[in-house]
Amino acid sequence: MAAILHRALWACLVAACAAPVLAQQELASFSGDTLQMCGGAYTPHETLRPPALMLEAAPNIAQGQYGPAYGKLEARLRSVLSETERTMPKVPEFLRNLAGGDRDIVTVDDFTTSRKVGDPRVLVLFQSLPAEQLEIVCRKELRVPQYLVNIVSVSKAAAAIKTIQLTPAMEARAAAVARQARDVDNLLKNGLPMWPWELWANGKRLPESDAEPLFRSQWILLRPTAGMAVDTRSRAEGDLQASVGIEPVGFIRYRGEDYSAWWGVSLLVTTSSKSGVGLGALLRWNNFVLGATRNQGQQPGQSDSTVVFIGVDLYDFLNKQRAELKDLGNASQKLSDKLLEQR
């Protein structure tokens, strides 16, 4: 009784998994035990109907042993075909491909009947291998040979097994694509904003596959930075002065999964009215930047000095200013509309 219940449960499970595959095929589809194909109704050998084949292969499928599962299909088909049928055109190739159905090169479509390109009266199997395609000619005056009916029936079971075999990989790929889409969205919304040339440079690093993870670092390239500079040459010259910096090249590394926090380092070139041009390095922690440059003396005999640079990210600053101006403009418009209503 336990064995019968086990087989029944597996039959239900496999039927549920195979149903989408069997329903997709309109060129050759089952109605009960009858195969509808080429405008006619055909009955495959009772041992080669998909439910019987799937039930026999279920234990192997449950253990992830897909090679033996395809092997059982091939062995059962071979036992039903006569010696003459096993040597018919492309049948040996089909049997070989069926036995190796677990290979990556074999797809669900290979076990699915489709119309031959250029001749809609001909159905083919293994369309990805043109030299090994098995053809089924549909003619109103001639019925499809029984051995081809049996092969199509076995192909449907093989397509169902291939779907089950590929499901984990397809689910993993779907999850990876969803993760990359989420990461791209977080990078654009939360990450360090990129100037157009930085967007171009970092765009070159995008993965070729949608399933590959998005990069966790970002290149800095010719990035303008605004801030204040403190000249440390002497206390008298140690006043704050406005300064503009350029980061010729650098990088940041994102912390966390949502791209909302980062640290980085860049080369830094600064210029100010009192200290002139300086060359040094910059450390970045989120939108806060702290750098130091070495500046040459501006007067004859004046020694070089170290200038401390404290700044904010200019892109982020401009975005905030734009948002504030937009809010101010909206408020002004609302006030104007209200005054006009009172007049």
Q: Is 177 a domain residue? A: no
Model confidence band, residue 70 (pLDDT cutoffs 50, 70, 90)? very high
C-alpha torsion sign, points 294, 296, 302, 303: positive
Q: Is 22 a domain residue? A: yes
Same domain, 163 and 30: yes
d(CA 95, CA 77): 8
- The CB-side HSE value for 80 (13 A sphere, CA atoms) comes to 21
Q: Is 237 a domain residue? A: yes
Same domain, 165 and 232: no
Same domain, 201 and 165: no
Same domain, 95 and 235: no
Across the range 97-118, mean pLDDT stands at 90
Q: Is 307 a domain residue? A: yes
Same domain, 39 and 163: yes
Model confidence band, residue 209 (pLDDT cutoffs 50, 70, 90)? confident
Same domain, 6 and 53: yes
The confidence score (pLDDT) of residue 93 equals: 94
Model confidence band, residue 241 (pLDDT cutoffs 50, 70, 90)? confident
**The pairing of beta strand 276-285 with beta strand 288-295:** antiparallel
The whole-chain average pLDDT of the chain stands at: 81
Residue 276 has pLDDT above 50, yes or no: yes
C-alpha torsion sign, points 325, 331, 334, 336: negative
Q: What is the domain range of residue 53?
A: 2-170
The confidence score (pLDDT) of residue 227 equals: 84
Q: Is 342 a domain residue? A: no
Domain end among 130, 154, 170:
170
Residue 338 has pLDDT above 90, yes or no: no
Nearest to 39 by CA among 128, 108, 138: 138
Distances in Å between the alpha carbon of 130 and those of 76, 100, 162, 262? 25, 17, 20, 53
Q: Is 265 a domain residue? A: yes
Model confidence band, residue 1 (pLDDT cutoffs 50, 70, 90)? very low
Higher model confidence: residue 300 or residue 113? Answer: 113
Give the phi and the psi of residue 267 in degrees, each rounded to 5: -70, 150
The confidence score (pLDDT) of residue 145 equals: 94
pTM listed for this prediction: 0.59
Model confidence band, residue 178 (pLDDT cutoffs 50, 70, 90)? confident
Same domain, 38 and 124: yes
d(CA 296, CA 304): 4
Domain end among 170, 205, 231:
170
Q: In percent, how much of the chain has pLDDT > 90?
A: 45
Nearest to 115 by CA among 133, 93, 95: 133
The confidence score (pLDDT) of residue 71 equals: 95
Same domain, 164 and 200: no
Q: Is 186 a domain residue? A: no
Number of folded domains that form the chain: 2
Q: Is 263 a domain residue? A: yes
> pLDDT of 120-147, one tens digit each?
889 999 888 888 889 999 988 889 999 9
The confidence score (pLDDT) of residue 234 equals: 60
The confidence score (pLDDT) of residue 300 equals: 60
Same domain, 202 and 82: no
Across the range 176-197, mean pLDDT stands at 89
Lowest-confidence range among 90-104, 151-165, 297-311? Answer: 297-311
Higher model confidence: residue 94 or residue 327? Answer: 94
Residue 322 has pLDDT above 90, yes or no: no
Same domain, 162 and 204: no
Across the range 73-78, mean pLDDT stands at 95
The confidence score (pLDDT) of residue 78 equals: 95
Question: Of the segments 8-17, 234-243, 322-331, which one has the largest average pLDDT value?
Answer: 234-243
